Structure 1
Amino acid sequence: MAARDKFHEAVKQGLIKEQWVITHDPLNLKFGEYDQVQIDLAAERVLGAQKDGEKIAVEIKSFLNDSAIVDFHTALGQFLNYRLVLEKNEPQRILFLAVPVYAYDSFFQRELPKAIIRQYGLKLIVYDPEEEVITQWIS
C-alpha cells in the first residue's frame, strides 16, 4: 500500500463533518490486465429523498516540498491518470484534488496553476489541515 499523505486524516475528518460517508480508504481500481491505481479516499452522500447520492473520489496532496511546481506536476499527473481510470471503472464518481488552504491561497493563485486547472477541468477541495475542515469546493 502506498504511503498516506500527511494530511490524509484531516481531509477525511473534514469530509465526515460535511456528512460524507467514507466508502473506501483507499479506493483501489484496476485498469487493464496489469495496472492498478490507489486513490486516497472515496465517499458518498445521499441527498434527501434522492435514491442515488453523490459519489466522489479524493486525491490528497500536502504541498510541503520546497518546490510547489514539482508537487503540482506530480499531483496533476496523478489526477489525470486517476480520472481516466475512474471514467472506465466508476463513471458516476467525480474526482477531486484536495489541497491545503495555504497552497491554494498562494501557489494556486498564480497564472500557470490557474490556466492548468481551467485547461484540464480539475476539481479542487481546499482544506484546513489544522482545523480538519473543508474550506472550499471548486468545480
Structure 2
Amino acid sequence: MPAKDIYHETVKNALIKDGWTITHDPLRIRLARGKNLFVDLGAERLLAAERGLEKIAIEVKSFTRPSDMKDLEEALGQFVLYDRLLKRYYPEHILYLSVNEDTRKRVFEEEAGQTLIEDGTIRLVTFDVLKEEIVRWIH
C-alpha cells in the first residue's frame, strides 16, 4: 500500500467530526491483471431517510514541494484518473481532493486552481489543520 499523506489522520478525524463514517482506509480500486490503485479514504453518512447514504472518496494532498504548480499538476492527474475509475467501479462515490485552508488560498484562489474549480474539473474539501475540522466543501 502507498504511504499516507502527512494530513491523512487529520482529514480522517475531521470527517468523523463532520458526521462521516470511514468505510475504507484506503479505498482500493482493483483493476484488471491484478493492479490496484488506492484512494486515501472512503466515507459515508446518512442524509435523510428518503435519500439514503451519501458516499464519498477523499484523496488527501499536502502540497509540500517547492513548486505549488508541480503539486497541482500531480494532484490533478491523480484526481482525474481516480475520478474516472471510481465512476466505473464505485459509481456511488463522489471524489474530493482534500487540502488544508492555507493550500486552498495559496493554490486554488490563483488562476490555475480557480479554473479547475470553476470548470468542475475538481472538487475540494478543505480542513483546519489545528482544529482537525472540515472548513468547506467546494463543488
The TM-score, its normalising length taken from structure 1, stands at 0.94
- Percent identity over paired residues: 40
* Residue pair 1:63, 1:100 contacting (<8 A) in 2 also: no
Aligned pairs, how many? 139
Residue aligned with 1:63, SS: coil
> Could you say which residue in structure 1 is the equivalent of 2:26?
26
- Return 5+ residue gaps in structure 2 as ranges: none
Q: Cα RMSD over matched residues?
A: 1.3
The residue type equivalent to 1:108 in the other structure is F
The residue type equivalent to 1:81 in the other structure is L
The residue type equivalent to 1:37 in the other structure is L
> Could you say which residue in structure 2 is the equivalent of 1:17?
17
Q: How does 1:22-101 map to 2 (within 5 A)?
A: 22-50=22-50, 52-101=52-101
> Could you say which residue in structure 2 is the equivalent of 1:121?
121
CA distance in 1, matches of 2:138, 2:97: 10
CA distance in 2, matches of 1:42, 1:65: 26
* Deviation readout 1:46-85 (Å, 9 max, x if unpaired): 1232362100000000112211111111100100000111
Per-residue deviation, 1:121: 2.4
The list of structure 1 runs, each at least 4 consecutive aligned residues, that deviate by more than 6 angstroms after superposition, is none
| Comparing 123-132 and 54-63, the one that deviates more | 123-132
The residue type equivalent to 2:133 in the other structure is V
Residue aligned with 2:57, SS: strand
Per-residue deviation, 1:117: 2.7
> Could you say which residue in structure 1 is the equivalent of 2:130?
130
CA distance in 2, matches of 1:134, 1:123: 14
Residue aligned with 1:10, SS: helix
| Comparing 110-119 and 58-67, the one that deviates more | 110-119
Residue aligned with 2:52, SS: coil
The residue type equivalent to 1:26 in the other structure is P
Per-residue deviation, 1:35: 3.1
> Could you say which residue in structure 1 is the equivalent of 2:104?
104
